[in-house]
Amino acid sequence: TTGGRALKFYASIRLDIRRISAIKDGEEVIGSRAKVKVVKNKVAPPFREAEFDIIYGEGISRLGSLVDLGATHKVVEKSGAWYAFGGERIGQGRENAKRFLQENPAVADEIEAKLRAALGVPGPAEAEA
């Protein structure tokens, strides 16, 4: 950063955001995969890392995060390249699993509800109450 070292000390939270790869639909680049590392945090535990998809014109991909978190927390079963939920295969490869969830929003909502319950994160309706 310019302006000396003051900004590094003054900031409460500093994030290191790096693009890992491009997300393509055929030859067209439709987004990028990003890795975020918390370099400094005065208000919560520092040095955490996150990876997610940023789709141009849409923002952070909710469905991509559901597939990744679901596989990490064993809500979505991953066997090789296949993803399955509730014994039903939802797609071969991450992009096909995301496409299935886009076409079946009820399944995506069910995965999100199970993830929220497993992680102890309240849903939008519960947070307002």
**Shared domain check, 103 and 74:** yes
**Shared domain check, 114 and 84:** yes
What separation in angstroms does the CA of 92 have from each of 4, 64, 81?
50, 14, 5
Specify the pTM: 0.79
**Shared domain check, 41 and 16:** yes
Question: Per residue in 11-33, pLDDT tens?
Answer: 999 999 999 999 998 899 999 99
At 36, list the tokens: 């975020």
Distance CA 65, CA 50 (A): 10
Domain-located, residue 2? no
Q: Identify the residue whose tokens are 């990003």.
A: 34
**Shared domain check, 51 and 67:** no
Helix 62-72 / helix 94-103 crossing angle, nearest 10 deg: 120
Q: Please, which pLDDT band fits residue 127 given cuts at 50, 70 and 90? A: low
Domain span at residue 47? Answer: 11-60
Question: Per residue in 59-91, pLDDT tens?
Answer: 999 999 999 999 999 889 999 999 999 888 988
Domain-located, residue 99? yes
**Shared domain check, 42 and 72:** no
**Shared domain check, 43 and 23:** yes
Q: Please, which pLDDT band fits residue 129 given cuts at 50, 70 and 90? A: low
E strand residue ranges, the chain: 13-25, 28-41, 49-55, 59-60, 77-79, 82-85, 88-92
What separation in angstroms does the CA of 56 have from each of 64, 91, 120?
14, 23, 30
